[in-house]
Amino acid sequence: MVKVDKFIQKSTEKIKEQIDGKAIIALSGGVDSSVCTVLAHNAIGDNLVPIYIETGLMRKGETERIKETFADMNLRVVNMKNRFLNALEGVEDPEEKRRAVGETFIRVFEEIAKEEQAEYLIQGTIYPDRIESDGGIKSHHNVGGLPDVVDFKDIVEPISDLYKDEVREVAKALDLPEELSERMPFPGPGLAVRIIDEVTEEKLEVVREANAIVEEELVEKYHPWQTFAALLGKGTGVKGDVRVHGWIIAVRAVSSRDGMTAEAMQLPWDVLNRIESRINSEIKSVSRVVYDLTPKPPATIEFE
C-alpha cells in the first residue's frame, strides 16, 4: 500500500511538472484511462479536459456511468455514433474493422483537440500495451495512434510502467468505484469485434443487450477474467409457433492470468440455462444461444 501511495504522490508531482497549460485525455470507460484522469485532475485541476467519445460501440449504460464518475470535472461528452457507423459500413474483415474504428477515433479526437486548443495529451498506456503493440499480434488502436496532425507540446503517459493489477491497486487507492477498479478488460474497438461481419445499428443493439445480460449473470458471482456475448450471424428458430430467422449469440466466459492464454470456464448448467433463457426471451430477434468452449489458443478471447 505504501508503494501505491508513493506512486500516486510521485506521479501527481511529475504531472504537475510536465504540464503547464491545458491537457486532454480520451476516456474509454476502462480502469487505465480512468486512473490517469483522476491523477491528472488531482495534479492540474480544471486545466484537464477529459473527453468521452460516444462511438456507439460501448457497453450498455457507459455514457451515464462516465458522467457520474467524472461529474466534478470539465468532462466533455461528444456524440459521434454516426461517424463510426458510417466508417464501419460494408466492412467485414476483422483487421479492417479495427483500422476503421481506430482511424475514426484518431480523426475525431484530433478535431476535438484542435477545438480545445489543449497543449498536452495524456494517455493511459500501460506496460503490456507497449509490449503487445511491439509484438504486432493485433492492431491495438490505443497505442501509438494518437495523434499525427495535432501538435502537442508533450504526450504524458503516467502509468506506462505499470501492470494491470498495479493499475487496479492505484484505482482502489484513488477511491474509484470498485465496479471500475475491478472492471474486466474491454477491447478498444468495442462491440465492433463482438459482431461477425458487418457492424449495423441493429446488431449493435442486440449484442449490447446480450452483453449486459451476460455481465449481470456472471461478473459478481463468478469473477471471470473476462465474459461477454458475441453475435455470430443468423439461424433458423421457432418463436411463438412461428419459424424465424433469428440472431445467434455466443456466450464467452474465460479464466486467464494475463489474457495471453485462456480457458473456458466450467459454469454450472443451470447458470448457462438461465443466460440462454434470458437472452432468448428479453431480446426478441435472437433465436439461439451457444456457449464457447474453446481455449486460447487456438481461439482468441474476442471473436475478431
Task: Determine if 287 is a binding residue for ligand XMP (CB under 6 A).
Answer: no
Backbone angles phi, psi at 260, to 5 degrees: -75, -35
Any idea how long the chain is? 304
Taking the C-alpha atoms of residue 207 and residue 232, their distance in angstroms, rounded to an integer, is 10
Closest residue to ligand XMP in the complex (CB): 188
Residue 259 annotated as binding? no
Residue 83 interacting with ligand XMP (CB under 6 A): no
Asked if 235 interacts with ligand XMP (CB under 6 A), we say no
Between helix 2-18 and helix 31-44 the angle, nearest 10°, is: 60
Binding to ligand XMP (CB under 6 A) within 141-160 occurs at 141-142
Q: Which amino acid is at 37?
A: T
The CA distance from 292 to 255, in Å, is 13
In sign, the C-alpha dihedral spanning 144, 211, 183, 80 is: positive
Q: Closer CB to ligand XMP, residue 74 or residue 256?
A: 256
- Site for ligand XMP (CB under 6 A): which residue of 29, 124, 187, 224? 187
Which segment (72-80, 181-189, 272-280, 281-289) binds ligand XMP by CB under 6 A? 181-189
Nearest to 162 by CA among 2, 299, 48, 11: 11
Which CB, 50 or 187, lies closer to ligand XMP? 187
| Interface segment toward ligand XMP; rule CB under 6 A; list 153-161, 187-195, 200-208, 272-280 | 187-195
- Per DSSP, the three-state class of 173 is helix
* Residue the block writes with cell 421457432: 238
Q: Where are the beta strands (DSSP E) in the chain?
A: 23-27, 48-54, 76-79, 120-122, 154-156, 226-239, 242-255, 263-264, 286-291
Q: Cβ of residue 183: shortest distance to ligand XMP, in angstroms? A: 11
- Residues 96-135 binding ligand XMP (CB under 6 A) are 98
- Compare residues 173 and 212 and give the one whose CB is closer to ligand XMP: 212
Q: Does 140 bind ligand XMP (CB under 6 A)?
A: yes
In whole angstroms, give the CA distance from residue 276 to residue 210.
10
Q: How far is the CB of 173 from ligand XMP (least distance, A)?
A: 23
Please check if 287 is assigned to a binding site.
no
Is residue 156 part of an annotated ligand binding site?
no
94 binds ligand XMP (CB under 6 A): no
d(CA 133, CA 292): 27
Which one of 94, 124, 188, 246 is in contact with ligand XMP (CB under 6 A)?
188
- Where does this chain bind ligand XMP (CB under 6 A)? 98, 138, 140-142, 185, 187-189, 226, 259, 296, 300-302
| Residue ranges at the known binding site for ATP | 28-34
